[in-house]
Amino acid sequence: MAEERYDRLKAGITEALAEKPKRDALYTAMKRGRDSRRAAVAARPDGDAFRKDVRATKLQCIEKLPELVERFAGKVRERGGTVYMAKDGAAAIEYILDVCRRKNAKSVAKSKSLTSEEIQVNEPLEHNGINVIETDLGELIIQKVHEKPYHLVFPAVHKTAVQVAEIFKKETGQEIPPDAGEIMKVVRKYLRPIFLNADIGMTGANVGIAETGAIVIETNEGNARLVSSIPDVHICIMGMEKVVDTVEDALKMVMAHPVSAVGQMLTTYVTFMAGRSQLGDGEGRGPRETHIIILDNGRSEMRDDPVFADALNCIRCGACMNMCPTYGVVGGHTFGYIYPGPIGIPWTAAVHGLEKAGDFAPLCISCGLCKEICPAEIDIPMMIAEVKDRDSQKHPAPIVNKTLMMAENFAGLGSATAPLSNWMLNNSLFRILLEKTSGIDRRRKLPPFARRTFTKRFRELPPDTSSKGRKVAYFVDIYANYNAPELGIAAVQRLREKGCEVVVPPNQKSSGYPFIGYGDLKRARETAEHNVKALIDFARRGYDIVATEPTAAYCLKLAYHKLLHSDDSRIISERTHEIFEYLQLLETESPSPAPLKGKRFGFHVSCHQRPMSSGLAAMEWLRARGAEVELVETGTCCGMGGTFGLKAGALGYDLSQAVGDPLFRKFAEANVDAIVTESSVCTIHLKGGTGMKVYHPLELLFQ
């Protein structure tokens, strides 16, 4: 069963990788979304701070959701509407069919509704002889080719103008040039009689307002206004989590949706509907009807789940898809069931079952970027880790994941057996055997091991007598200990030069992030507890904790406290620093620019740095020493995803290279002497993908 699942997933990836024009178009669309959002956020008076406001509002509303839903329903009824609380999709569909039968409806015109996609409403209506027409252009396109949405906001983003023109040529019999303007002329003419003659209009709702009983519908095409106003019967189906308390709360969502989705300050058509005009009554026509279906479908269980409750804060902007590195290559048909992309993993688990979510959860490479762009600051990566963890009870992790979760053990063995281990890693026959037995791709060049580890070398350093009161506990992690001990020694020397007493707490383990990334949360918590215990006495005695590996700092500063929720993990979080952030705090005078004067570097920010320093401190440190530094990025992950890019084949190396390809090209075009990054795993990927020299900033001082 597990092998079949991975075979299906790999087949989808392989197909996507083979369609380069299609994935190039998808990448371009996702990057345009990221870039537009960045520009729009920069133009807002509050900048990125709106995210905290959105999150606070959503948390307050979800906390009192049952009360808000009852108030909302009461207000809708006061305004003459009918409210139906649907336990699940089947109940919602049966209610809709009852309305259709009572009204003798033959046609339903729909505007875009993710909730209706969730319960797959079209098929049962059509099975009962009702013609269902999607009026959103993207939804109409995929309806005509019998596909699922590719993206929450851009359901047909994978279709070219040539393909769309051909779709409507078949539908209308007209010759249509592959031009957006010409296509739209034909579509408008095609849809006009549908709007005018539909028996029932069906919409979703972006927001429901408990204070007034109004729903808010946002579109860029205006179709929802026609669908909801022309037919005598309007059915709105909405998830219960869309209900907020006040009009002011709703306005926060209305402002957050378009900025996050496409970089628009406001959606073109924002409609507040509270009841319906009686225009058209009489002359044999009955009263106009409004039916609001409030869907549960697993949401109550989500609200009671300590991990998945955070998913209810989703405002359906699709920003996480625009940012996700693997989604940007394979798209929503491989990376999704009905809800695609990162947020689609926990949502699918909650409303369609863990089995379906587990089918595409391995596409999350745990870069964490979806959390950094989410307007509600949802910790999507930790929810995905939980999905993987729960799914592993039935589907144990593949051998390669287990191998990578034992990285520290293998690094210790490699160091103890160097230089033999290094010879073996460069032997093609051994690499083939390693790939077959462990799943590590034979093409990935791994860093050599050092026989004398950092911890051994540190013990041999002469005692430092120049401390001026600052005390630092250095968290080493794997790379600086077993592969590049000179990097760790350089960090200690720089700290000592700044007057710091530096200790290396005994018994520390590696950060253990692969346990989070591959969904073994039991061992992730055990590792977090172990390292917190190893560091807490030093922290309580006034030591600051410094790490040279961004992922290690990320774990100490963010992930461990999320896993443990303890006072000790909070203290560790507060006292943790990245190396250059800390050196910058200690800088009291401008250093000589001589060491790096005349050098030009392209800087890569690793994913786990983004919620911390974003590499700014390291770049300033290099510039202060005379280097010219350019930030080179595509706006998303380089593709390595921690250890994901070490894995063999489609669900690893091949996908990793495809994600990284645009970044590799940007570095090639940047005209720099070398690449600089603080991440050891990004270093592996960038070296392999560009053929350029890649350095940690500290390494530049002893080249």
Token pair for 603: 């800087």
Tokens at 139, concatenated: 């939804």
DSSP category for residue 47: G
- Six-digit token string for 402: 């287990």
pLDDT band at 691 (very low <50, low <70, confident <90, very high): very high
213: left (phi over 0), alpha (psi -120 to 50) or beta: left
Domain-ending residue, one of 269, 297, 325: 297
Residue 302 counted as domain residue: no
- Asked whether residue 327 falls in the same domain as residue 282, the answer is no
Q: Do 79 and 136 belong to one domain?
A: yes
pLDDT at 595 (0 to 100): 85
CATH number at residue 222: 3.40.50.10420
In DSSP notation, 618-636 reads: HHHHHHHTT-EEEE---SS
Task: Read off the DSSP letter of residue 220.
Answer: S
- Across the range 592-610, mean pLDDT stands at 92
Clarify whether residues 373 and 421 are in a common domain: no
CATH code (residue 600) = 3.40.50
> What would the mean pLDDT of 632-659 be, rounded to a whole number?
96
Task: Note the pLDDT tens digit of each residue in 205-230.
Answer: 999 999 999 999 999 999 999 999 99
Q: What is the pLDDT of residues 272-298, one digit of tens each?
A: 999 877 665 556 567 889 999 999 999
| 3-state SS class at 502 | strand
- CB burial string 520-530: b at 16+ within 10 A, e below: bbeebbebbbe
646 and 697 belong to one structural domain: yes
| Other Cβ atoms closer than 10 A to 256 | 22
Strands 694-695 and 674-676: parallel
Residue type, 665: R
State whether 423 and 523 are in the same domain.
no
pLDDT at site 464: 78
Q: What is the pLDDT of residue 152?
A: 85
For residues 3-13, average pLDDT: 91
Say if 371 falls within a structural domain.
yes
Q: Is residue 28 domain-resident?
A: no
Among 268, 384, 259, smallest CA distance to 318 is for 259
- Both 331 and 185 in a single domain? no
Does any domain span residue 429? Answer: yes
- pLDDT 10s digits, 38-91: 999 999 999 999 999 999 999 999 999 999 999 999 999 999 999 999 999 999
Q: Are residues 69 and 189 in the same domain?
A: yes
Q: Is position 197 within any domain?
A: yes
- pLDDT tens track for 291-327: 999 999 999 999 999 999 999 999 999 999 999 999 9
CB neighbour list of residue 518: distance below 8 Å, 6 or more residues apart = 366, 388, 397, 401, 404, 405
Q: Using the 8-state DSSP alphabet, how is residue 463 labeled?
A: P
In this structure, the answer to whether residues 116 and 193 fall within a common structural domain is: yes
Domain-ending residue, one of 297, 332, 361:
297
- The token pair that represents 591 in the structure block: 């250093």
Q: Residue 243's beta-bridge partner residues? A: 208
How far is the C-alpha of 542 from the C-alpha of 583, rounded, in Å?
A: 17
Q: Which of 297, 330, 353 finishes a domain?
A: 297
Say if residue 80 is in the same domain as residue 149: yes
Tens digits of per-residue pLDDT, 459-506? 999 887 666 779 999 999 999 999 999 999 999 999 998 989 999 999
Helix (H) or strand (E) holding 234: strand 233-239
Q: Provide the CA 534 distance to its chain's centre, in angstroms.
A: 32
CATH at 571: 1.20.1050
* Cβ proximity of 664 and 672 under 8 Å: no
Annotate 16-31 with DSSP letters as a single string: HHH-HHHHHHHHHHHH
CA-CA distance, 231 to 196, in Å (whole number)? Answer: 8
Residue 162 structural domain: 48-297
Kindly give the interhelix angle for 247-262 and 20-43, rounded to the nearest 10 degrees: 130
Q: How many CB atoms lie within 10 A of CB 694?
A: 23
The tokens describing 25, both together, are 């178009």
In a domain, 31, yes or no: no
Mean pLDDT along residues 140-148: 93
Please, what is the Cα angle at 61 between 58 and 65, to 5 degrees? 135
Distance CA 256, CA 409 (A): 46
The pLDDT of residue 284 is 58
Compute how many other C-beta atoms are within 10 angstroms of the C-beta atom of residue 107: 17
Inside any domain, residue 460:
yes
**Segments of 243-300 assigned E as strands:** 243-244, 269-273, 289-295
Cβ–Cβ contacts within 10 Å for residue 456, how many? 13
107/230 same-domain check: yes
The tally of domains found in the chain comes to: 5
Kindly tell me if the per-residue pLDDT of 409 is higher than 70.
yes
How many C-beta neighbours within 10 Å does residue 246 have?
A: 15
- CB-CB neighbours of 536 under 10 Å: 19
- Evaluate whether residue 177 is within a structural domain: yes
Q: How many other CB atoms sit within 10 Å of the CB of residue 268?
A: 11
CATH of the domain at 353: 1.10.1060.10
pLDDT above 70 for 267: yes
Long-range contacts of 399-405 (CB under 8 A, 24+ apart): 399/437, 399/438, 399/439, 400/438, 400/439, 400/440, 400/647, 400/648, 400/652, 401/514, 401/518, 403/438, 403/439, 403/440, 404/514, 404/518, 404/643, 404/646, 404/647, 405/514, 405/515, 405/518, 405/520, 405/523
Strand ranges (E), 262-386:
269-273, 289-295
- How many residues belong to the chain? 703
Task: Note the pLDDT of residue 463.
Answer: 83
Identify the three-state secondary structure at position 200. Answer: strand
Query: For residue range 535-556, what is the model confidence (pLDDT) as tens digits?
Result: 999 999 999 999 999 999 999 9
Q: Please report which helix (H) or strand (E) contains residue 578, including its range.
A: strand 576-578
Report yes or no: 517 and 607 within 8 Å, Cβ to Cβ: no
Query: Are 179 and 213 part of one and the same domain?
Result: yes
Indicate whether 511 and 409 sit together in one domain.
no
**At 389, which amino acid appears?**
D
